[in-house]
Amino acid sequence: MDNFTTLPCPARPTPNSLSRWFDISSTRLSSLLTSHAPCKHPCPRSKPSWSPRLSSLRRDYHRFARLSRLDPSPLNWSNVKSSRRTYFKAIASAKKAHWSDFLSSATPRSVWTAKRFVFGRPPQRFPDMPGASNPAEVAETLLDHFFPSKPPPPPLLRLARYEDYTPLTSEEVSRALSKSSNTCAPGPDHIPYSVWKSVHRIKPSLLPSLLDPLLAHGFHPPSLKKALGIVLDKPGKPSYDSPSSFRVIVLLRTLSKILGRVVASRLSAQATICFLIHPLQCGSLPGRSTAPATLVLQHNVV
């Protein structure tokens, strides 16, 4: 990773050449990360309440069970029952302790996880669209509903670099990454934010060198517009024979989201400087939160 560098950007890029440069550079970087970064393969039977003590009790229980099969004496059978009782009692105690710790440290976001554990997951509903008799036709109906066709935009013939453009810095990328959660699902690249945070910590100049030409020319490559769409059913609908009874979650590439956060931060700062935002606007702005809103309310009331 220390020796990895992006390819030089074309001197006078066109939309095709800049898109090709970004695709080649991002593919080289993604291939390097996927070939060297370890992938998580969580077991569906993994339990957060498990402990080394439970593993030791399980080994003892299986050892006594094997001995009782070889020598079915009363002593061995008594050891089997005792070890089995101790093992399952320890499992129940560990589950209870883990559930108590989870509830005591619950946050507003994890409360919904606790609700799902208590009530279980709702049954998944498969869309039954009129005129769609197979999954391919159902997918086509949902795509037409969520993403209706639009006339293609006029093609860009050339790209011009902004004269007053400020180069992208590693501090801006750090701020964008700090607002990104490691638990967010990645898009088609399958690279989460935690990997990009590690890459940026090891080599802070890598991501700015990859994203800076896109910002400088105001160009968003088509590869960053590809996404994964997850269709979820809306609860409480009387019927699920219409696309409006479902919603879609679009998972973009994490690089696209990082670039979007940088642009949003720059636009917010520029809008504040140009007085395009109301002075009493407190939400979704850096440095303004509950305290300024409370002071404004107190001033108006007094």
What string of DSSP letters covers 235-269?
Answer: TT-S--SSGGGEEEEEEE-HHHHHHHHHHHHHHHH
- State residue 2's pLDDT score: 66
Task: State pTM to two decimals.
Answer: 0.70
Lowest mean pLDDT among 11-20, 35-44, 236-245, 273-282: 35-44
Whole-number average pLDDT of the chain = 86
Decide if 200 is inside a domain.
yes
Decide if 211 is inside a domain.
yes
169/59 same-domain check: no
- State residue 185's pLDDT score: 86
With 80 as the cut, is the pLDDT of residue 298 above it? yes
| Residue 108 to residue 112: CA distance in whole angstroms | 8
The helix/strand/coil state of 230 is strand
Q: Which residue segment(s) compose the domain that 62 sits in?
A: 52-119
131/115 same-domain check: no
206/183 same-domain check: yes
Decide if 128 is inside a domain.
yes
144/108 same-domain check: no
Structure tokens that stand for 202 in this block? 């090891």
The helix/strand/coil state of 67 is helix
133/67 same-domain check: no
- State residue 44's pLDDT score: 55
Number of domains in the chain: 2
72/215 same-domain check: no
170/230 same-domain check: yes
33 close to 233: Cβ distance less than 8 angstroms = no
- State residue 138's pLDDT score: 86
CATH number at residue 79: 1.20.58
73/130 same-domain check: no
Structure tokens that stand for 110 in this block? 């994890």
Decide if 292 is inside a domain.
no
Decide if 244 is inside a domain.
yes
Lowest mean pLDDT among 1-10, 25-34, 232-241: 1-10
| Residue 115 to residue 103: CA distance in whole angstroms | 11
Q: 130-155 burial, b for 16+ CB within 10 Å, e for fewer?
A: eebeeeeebeebbeeeeeeeeeeeee
Average of per-residue pLDDT across 152-163: 77
In this prediction, residue 45 has a pLDDT band, given cuts at 50, 70 and 90, of: low
Decide if 26 is inside a domain.
no
Instruction: Provide the sign of the torsion angle of the four alpha carbons 63, 64, 69, 73, taken in this order.
Output: positive
170/194 same-domain check: yes
